[in-house]
Amino acid sequence: MKKPIGFFDSGIGGLSILNSLVEKLPNESFIYLSDNKNCPYGNKSHKEITNFSLKNSKKLIELNCKMIIVACNTATTNCINLLREKIPVPIIGIEPGIRPAILNTKTKNIGVLATEKTLESKLFNSTSKDNIKDGIKVHEQIGYRLVNEIEKGINGNILIENYLKKYLSPMIKNNIDYLVLGCTHYNFLEEKINKILSKNVKIVDTISPVTNHVIKTLKSLKIENKNRSNNSIDIIYNGNKLSKEFMKTNYQISYLDF
Ligand code: DGL
């Protein structure tokens, strides 16, 4: 039987990464856990985030996954090292892409929009502090309530636009030329964010670097699938309901109490 690649997130945010990998890796099977019963993670304690992440990873191991993608910046920045210690398959994490912004900024001001617990985490702070040089300022903003609204659906959701205007306006005043999206849910807001920011501001998401990293890792560990037969893409959720807004038609969606 084909071993799938496992994913987890607090909800639908990690689908932004899954959708990219499904396109690039047509020979692979995927299992995506949406822990939406516990969504959002971003305002929970470090301990809770760690426990959710361990629970999700153990479930993916039970489901025979050969690799786990932590499709959540909050879980990655809070407990990726512990997951790598405890879980016996390769673990790929997702962190805010602050490095390219720091390397390329001309205005020396960059913005980071992320969850409370990502911005507070040791991992994020060591990564961003290690890279800061030449008087570059990092303007951090917590995306309060954005994840809750994205889970409800983004089309015609006026609250999302209002929150974005509020969160981005201090960054615009501070003349940022890069905005780093530090939460996989926010990847779905790029179009809305572009309408608020001027054309000179570039958005940094981590979809392509993570996709490339996964492809390279599968190859180097020689665990990639070589043929297309018996592929499946399973989306499993544990909350009340799941928005289908960002799902492709061949995804099989089911409920499981995990
Ligand atoms: N998609 C998540 C992240 O990248 C989870 C956010 C949340 O649940 O608060 O951080």
pLDDT at 92: 98
Q: What is the fold, at CATH topology level, of the domain defined by 98-203?
A: Rossmann fold (3.40.50)
Mean pLDDT of the chain: 95
Question: Which atom of ligand 1 is found nearest the CA of 44?
Answer: 9
Between the alpha carbon of residue 70 and those of residues 30, 106, 156, the distances in Å are: 13, 32, 29
Known active-site residue 72: yes
pLDDT digits (tens, 9 = 90+) for 153-172: 999 999 999 999 999 999 99
Q: CATH top-level class for 5-94+207-255? A: alpha beta
Same topology, domains 5-94+207-255 and 98-203? Answer is yes
Any residues with Cβ below 6 Å from ligand 1, and which?
9-10, 13, 39-42, 72-74, 115, 118, 147, 183-185
Q: Tell me how far the alpha carbon of residue 2 lies from the centroid of ligand 1, in angstroms.
A: 29
Residue ranges of domains in the chain? 5-94+207-255, 98-203
Residue 227 clears pLDDT 90, i.e. is over it: no
pLDDT digits (tens, 9 = 90+) for 188-219: 999 999 999 999 999 999 999 999 999 999 99
Catalytic annotation, pick one of 39, 65, 79, 183:
183
